[in-house]
A = this chain, B = another copy of it.
């Protein structure tokens, strides 16, 4: 792509042209060499979007809630971006079929950008790509960017590091209390949603969550995670959810936590890009062959992994 073409693309994205936005996110997804120029052009125009993460186990209704939130924000006249991040995509190529179906009602709304994003399999792929895709949507004038991700564990934690506010969504019948605690949801959630609140066992989930959140030690002025019951498929509890999001945003701004979360997210992004550069530098110098040779020596017990890593570091520096 010529420099003039890139400048044009960035300009069009800034005015909100959906095709230009989609094109830029593809560059992010593919870790294009053009990204540097794209980010340099966008960075001064980003910083006002509110980033809301939505996470939880498969089947709890994340996409349905996301779609309902989009409808609500659109009703307020706000431009909205949705990133459905699929951490499984290093293997699958990442088609979020279910989500796409649920999001279809927004497909013809020019002020809603919906994007399923795959991340490459390397370490920190999500950490580097998600903030960049958020920046594209932010610079394109989205006031809200919803980042939806499946799963518990590492991916959930990575989403929490990207978002200003993280909604952890649960539903009845998805595992017991100990399991939920184990998945670390207490620590990543700013707002808990208990979806499918009309199903059996929903009250039990709410009760467990209440008991767990009560056990968290808090200082005065700390955020108290609200628990919102929803039936996202018919919009029940949506007003309460939006109210909880507004309250959390106000707390973030007042407490200084908004600034420190965004600082952390940017530090992580810089570090991920730096590590990517170093990794690439190593592969340019030696190719995968050298790493293969080192790995083979470790496997046959002739070299320890730290000595091997030292060779890698020396080659990178």
Contact = CB atoms under 8 A, between A and B. Distances in A.
A154 B275 CA distance: 18
Contacts of A180: 58
A6 interface: no
A154 B288 CA distance: 23
Contacts of A150: 152-153, 179, 182-183
A287 to B, nearest CB: 12
A158 interface: yes
Interface stretch (A18-26, A68-76, A238-246, A302-310): A302-310
Contact of A153 (B43, B149, B298): B149
Contacts of A126: 154
Describe A's contact surface by its main secondary structure. Answer: helix
A27 interface: no
A6 to B, nearest CB: 14
A46 B157 contact: no
Contacts of A87: 153-154, 157, 184
A173 interface: yes
Contacts of A46: 301
Given A98-B179, A123-B127, A126-B154, A267 B295 contact: yes
Interface in A74-103: 86-92, 96-99
Contact of A89 (B40, B96, B184, B274): B184
Contact of A263 (B131, B263, B292): B292
Nearest to A135: B305
B298 A43 contact: yes
Interface of A: 35-36, 39-40, 43-47, 57-59, 86-92, 96-99, 121, 123-124, 126-127, 131-132, 149-158, 173-176, 178-188, 262-263, 266-267, 269-275, 277-279, 282, 288, 291-292, 294-296, 298-310, 312-313, 316-317
29 contacts: A36-B307, A43-B304, A46-B301, A58-B175, A59-B174, A86-B182, A87-B157, A88-B152, A92-B181, A97-B182, A99-B182, A121-B157, A149-B153, A151-B153, A151-B154, A153-B154, A153-B156, A154-B154, A155-B155, A263-B292, A269-B298, A270-B298, A270-B305, A270-B308, A271-B291, A274-B312, A278-B278, A278-B316, A317-B317
